[in-house]
Amino acid sequence: MDLSEEENVERMTNGQLYFPSKARLDELRTAARLWCRRYNATDDSITGPCPQREELMKGMVLPGRIYHQLSSSCCLGFFGACGQGPVIEPPFRCEYGFNVFIGDGFYANYELVILDSATVRIGNNVLLGPGVHLYAVAHPRSVAGRATCVEYGS
Protein backbone atom coordinates (compact mmCIF):
# COMPACT_ATOMS: atom_id res chain seq x y z
CA MET A 1 0.00 0.00 0.00
CA ASP A 2 1.76 3.14 -1.25
CA LEU A 3 -0.09 6.19 0.10
CA SER A 4 0.58 9.91 -0.01
CA GLU A 5 0.68 11.71 3.33
CA GLU A 6 -2.79 13.20 2.70
CA GLU A 7 -4.30 9.84 1.69
CA ASN A 8 -2.83 8.27 4.81
CA VAL A 9 -4.41 10.91 7.11
CA GLU A 10 -7.72 10.55 5.28
CA ARG A 11 -7.64 6.75 5.66
CA MET A 12 -6.95 7.18 9.38
CA THR A 13 -9.90 9.51 9.93
CA ASN A 14 -12.17 7.20 7.89
CA GLY A 15 -11.35 4.12 9.96
CA GLN A 16 -9.33 2.37 7.24
CA LEU A 17 -5.88 0.79 7.53
CA TYR A 18 -3.14 3.43 7.60
CA PHE A 19 0.52 3.80 8.52
CA PRO A 20 0.93 5.61 11.87
CA SER A 21 4.64 6.20 11.28
CA LYS A 22 4.28 8.46 8.22
CA ALA A 23 5.76 11.95 8.57
CA ARG A 24 2.50 13.95 8.53
CA LEU A 25 0.99 11.91 11.37
CA ASP A 26 4.24 12.22 13.34
CA GLU A 27 3.99 15.99 12.86
CA LEU A 28 0.38 16.09 14.06
CA ARG A 29 1.11 13.89 17.10
CA THR A 30 4.09 16.08 18.01
CA ALA A 31 1.94 19.22 17.78
CA ALA A 32 -0.69 17.60 20.01
CA ARG A 33 1.95 16.54 22.56
CA LEU A 34 3.30 20.10 22.66
CA TRP A 35 -0.21 21.50 23.17
CA CYS A 36 -0.92 18.99 25.94
CA ARG A 37 2.42 19.74 27.62
CA ARG A 38 1.56 23.43 27.62
CA TYR A 39 -1.95 22.76 28.88
CA ASN A 40 -0.65 20.49 31.65
CA ALA A 41 1.90 23.11 32.74
CA THR A 42 -0.89 25.49 33.80
CA ASP A 43 -1.47 26.23 37.48
CA ASP A 44 -2.60 22.90 38.94
CA SER A 45 -3.68 24.51 42.20
CA ILE A 46 -6.81 25.62 40.33
CA THR A 47 -9.47 22.97 39.92
CA GLY A 48 -12.52 23.50 37.78
CA PRO A 49 -12.64 26.45 35.36
CA CYS A 50 -9.21 28.01 34.93
CA PRO A 51 -8.68 31.19 32.87
CA GLN A 52 -5.17 30.11 31.82
CA ARG A 53 -6.40 26.74 30.47
CA GLU A 54 -9.40 28.40 28.80
CA GLU A 55 -7.03 30.76 26.96
CA LEU A 56 -4.98 27.81 25.74
CA MET A 57 -8.13 26.12 24.47
CA LYS A 58 -9.04 29.29 22.55
CA GLY A 59 -5.66 30.04 21.04
CA MET A 60 -3.75 26.90 20.11
CA VAL A 61 -4.01 26.01 16.43
CA LEU A 62 -2.26 22.95 15.10
CA PRO A 63 0.14 23.81 12.26
CA GLY A 64 -1.10 23.10 8.75
CA ARG A 65 -4.50 21.86 9.84
CA ILE A 66 -6.49 21.21 6.67
CA TYR A 67 -9.03 18.50 7.43
CA HIS A 68 -11.51 20.29 9.68
CA GLN A 69 -13.21 23.66 9.55
CA LEU A 70 -12.13 25.94 12.38
CA SER A 71 -15.07 26.79 14.60
CA SER A 72 -15.60 29.79 16.84
CA SER A 73 -15.90 27.56 19.89
CA CYS A 74 -13.75 27.86 22.97
CA CYS A 75 -11.44 25.03 21.89
CA LEU A 76 -10.66 26.61 18.53
CA GLY A 77 -7.87 24.82 16.79
CA PHE A 78 -7.09 21.85 19.00
CA PHE A 79 -10.34 19.92 19.15
CA GLY A 80 -12.54 19.31 16.11
CA ALA A 81 -15.30 21.13 18.01
CA CYS A 82 -15.97 22.04 21.59
CA GLY A 83 -19.12 23.23 23.32
CA GLN A 84 -19.45 25.79 26.10
CA GLY A 85 -17.78 25.50 29.48
CA PRO A 86 -15.47 22.49 29.15
CA VAL A 87 -13.25 21.62 32.10
CA ILE A 88 -10.43 19.12 31.66
CA GLU A 89 -8.33 18.73 34.78
CA PRO A 90 -4.64 18.26 34.02
CA PRO A 91 -2.86 16.06 33.30
CA PHE A 92 -4.49 15.43 29.94
CA ARG A 93 -3.11 13.52 26.93
CA CYS A 94 -4.49 13.38 23.42
CA GLU A 95 -3.04 11.79 20.29
CA TYR A 96 -4.23 14.29 17.65
CA GLY A 97 -7.06 16.45 19.03
CA PHE A 98 -8.74 17.33 15.74
CA ASN A 99 -10.82 14.13 15.80
CA VAL A 100 -12.36 14.99 19.21
CA PHE A 101 -15.79 16.66 19.30
CA ILE A 102 -17.00 17.80 22.73
CA GLY A 103 -20.49 18.98 23.68
CA ASP A 104 -21.56 21.62 26.22
CA GLY A 105 -20.89 21.24 29.93
CA PHE A 106 -18.11 18.63 29.63
CA TYR A 107 -16.02 17.81 32.71
CA ALA A 108 -13.07 15.40 32.82
CA ASN A 109 -11.24 14.64 36.02
CA TYR A 110 -7.47 14.00 36.18
CA GLU A 111 -5.58 11.71 33.79
CA LEU A 112 -7.90 11.78 30.75
CA VAL A 113 -6.28 10.07 27.73
CA ILE A 114 -7.86 10.20 24.26
CA LEU A 115 -6.39 8.25 21.34
CA ASP A 116 -8.33 9.81 18.49
CA SER A 117 -7.21 8.15 15.27
CA ALA A 118 -10.92 8.08 14.43
CA THR A 119 -13.68 10.43 15.56
CA VAL A 120 -14.41 10.62 19.29
CA ARG A 121 -17.75 12.29 20.10
CA ILE A 122 -18.49 13.35 23.67
CA GLY A 123 -22.05 14.61 24.17
CA ASN A 124 -23.53 17.37 26.32
CA ASN A 125 -23.23 17.32 30.11
CA VAL A 126 -20.79 14.40 30.17
CA LEU A 127 -18.77 13.92 33.36
CA LEU A 128 -15.72 11.63 33.33
CA GLY A 129 -14.02 10.35 36.46
CA PRO A 130 -10.26 10.15 37.02
CA GLY A 131 -8.12 7.94 34.81
CA VAL A 132 -10.55 7.55 31.90
CA HIS A 133 -9.00 6.40 28.62
CA LEU A 134 -10.90 6.64 25.32
CA TYR A 135 -9.39 4.61 22.46
CA ALA A 136 -10.52 5.04 18.85
CA VAL A 137 -7.69 3.01 17.35
CA ALA A 138 -6.96 -0.68 16.86
CA HIS A 139 -4.33 -2.96 15.35
CA PRO A 140 -4.83 -6.00 13.14
CA ARG A 141 -5.22 -9.12 15.26
CA SER A 142 -3.36 -11.50 12.97
CA VAL A 143 0.41 -11.92 13.19
CA ALA A 144 0.73 -11.15 9.47
CA GLY A 145 -1.38 -8.01 9.83
CA ARG A 146 0.68 -6.74 12.78
CA ALA A 147 3.89 -7.32 10.82
CA THR A 148 2.78 -4.68 8.28
CA CYS A 149 2.89 -1.95 10.99
CA VAL A 150 -0.56 -0.63 10.11
CA GLU A 151 -3.47 0.26 12.36
CA TYR A 152 -7.00 1.57 11.88
CA GLY A 153 -9.34 3.98 13.57
CA SER A 154 -12.33 2.34 15.19
Q: Can you give the residue ranges of every domain in the chain?
A: 5-70+79-153
Question: What is the structure's pLDDT at 31?
Answer: 85
Which stretches in the chain have pLDDT values below 70? 57-77
Under the phi-then-psi rule, with left for phi > 0, alpha for psi from -120 to 50, and beta for the rest, what region is 85? left
Question: What is the structure's pLDDT at 92?
Answer: 93
- Please give the Cα distance from 111 to 93 (Å, whole number): 8
DSSP state of 139: -
- Please give the Cα distance from 154 to 8 (Å, whole number): 15
Question: What is the structure's pLDDT at 59?
Answer: 54
Q: Using one digit for the tens of pLDDT, what is the confidence trace for 51-78?
A: 777 777 665 433 333 333 333 333 445 7
Q: Pick from 113, 119, 153: which is nearest to 134 by CA?
A: 113
Inter-helix orientation angle 5-13/23-40, to 10°: 60
Question: What is the structure's pLDDT at 2?
Answer: 84
Helix (H, G, I), strand (E, B) or coil at 145: helix
| 5 residue type, one letter | E
φ and ψ at residue 66, rounded to 5 degrees: -125, -5
Helix (H, G, I), strand (E, B) or coil at 15: coil
Q: Pick from 33, 27, 15: which is nearest to 117 by CA?
A: 15
Q: What CATH number matches the domain at 5-70+79-153, 1.10.3480.10, 2.20.28.10, 3.90.950.10, 2.160.10.10? A: 2.160.10.10
